[in-house]
Amino acid sequence: MRTPSLPLLATAVTMILWASAFIVIRSVGGHYTPGAMALGRLAAGSAALSLVAAMRPRRLPRGRPLLLVIGYGVLWFGLYAVVLNAAEHHLDAGTTALVVNVGPILIAVLAGVYLKEGFPRGLVAGLVIAFSGVVTIAVATSTGRHDAIGVLLALGAAALYAVGALLQKQALHDVDPFTATWLGCLAGTVACLPFTADLLTELGEAPRSATLGVVYLGLFPTAIAFATWAYALNRMSAGGLSSSSYLVPGIAVLLSWLFLGEVPAPLAFLGGALCLAGVAVTRLPPSTLLHILGNKSGPRARR
C-alpha cells in the first residue's frame, strides 16, 4: 500500500543530500579536478548500489527502456557532474546556483509540452516565486567571480539536468526506481572512465579528508539521493518534483552556516524564504489556489 507522505519524505531526503553536496564539493574541489571528482563519486555510488542489487535478482530492462536509462545515466549522472564541477571553478556559489536553477524551469516547460503534464497555475506561480528566491540568494552570496565560460558551463549543466530528468521519467514507466538509479549510475561511471588516470594520480596526492569527501558524494548525494529522487519521480509529475530543487540553495545556505561557520547575509534568509514559499505554492491543490485567487477578485465578480 502506498503512503501519500512517502514521496514527500523521499523528496526531502533528496534535497537535503543534494544541498550537502555543494558544501562537500567546495571543500574537495581544491584537491580533485572536475572529471576525477565525478568519476570517483560515481564509482563509489555504483559500488554501493551494486552491493544492494546483488542481494536479490532484478529484472533488467531491454530495448527502449534500457536506452533511456543509459541516456540519462550518461547525460545526468556523468556529464552533468563533470560540467557542474567545472562551472564551479569559474563561478562563485551564488552565480552557479542562479544559472543551474534554470533547470527546473526547463523541466516544467519540456514536461508540459512533451510529457503532456500541462502548465498548472500553481506550478507556474510557484516556479516564479522560487526562482526569485534563488536570484535573491545569488545576489546575497555573489563574490563577483564569474566569466562567460563558467556561465556557459552552468547553462549546459542546467540543460543536462532537464533532459536527464525527462528521460528518467519516461524510463520509470518500465523500470523500477532502484534499478533505474543503479544502471544510470553505472552508465555515468562508464562515461567518466576517460578520467581514470587523473583520478588515480589525485588519489595518491589528495589528503584523506578530501578522498572521504568524494566517497561521501558517491554514497549519499548520489546513491541514496538519486534513489529517493527516482522513487518520488515515479509517483509525481516531473515538473512538480523538479520545483522542489529550489529548496536546495536555501538548505545549502543553512548547512554552510551550521558546518562551515559562514553566517548568511540577511538577504540570503529572505531568498531562502521565497524558495520555500514558491515550492509550497507548487504543492497547493488546484481548488485551494483557485479559492485564494477567487477571494482576491471575488467582490468585483459579485457586483
Per-residue pLDDT tens digits for 146-168:
677 888 898 899 999 999 999 99
pTM score, whole prediction: 0.83
Q: Report the C-alpha gap between 153 and 232 in whole angstroms.
A: 28
Question: Cell digits for 1?
Answer: 500500500
Q: What is the pLDDT of residue 75?
A: 96
Q: What is the pLDDT of residue 4?
A: 60
- Residues in the chain where the model's pLDDT stays below 50: 1, 297-303
Q: What is the pLDDT of residue 250?
A: 79
Instruction: For residue range 129-148, list pLDDT tens digits in order.
Output: 888 888 887 777 667 666 77
CA dihedral over 87, 88, 90, 94, signed as positive or negative: positive
Q: What is the pLDDT of residue 109?
A: 85
Question: Cell digits for 198?
Answer: 587523473
Q: Which amino acid is at 214?
A: V
Q: What is the pLDDT of residue 294?
A: 58
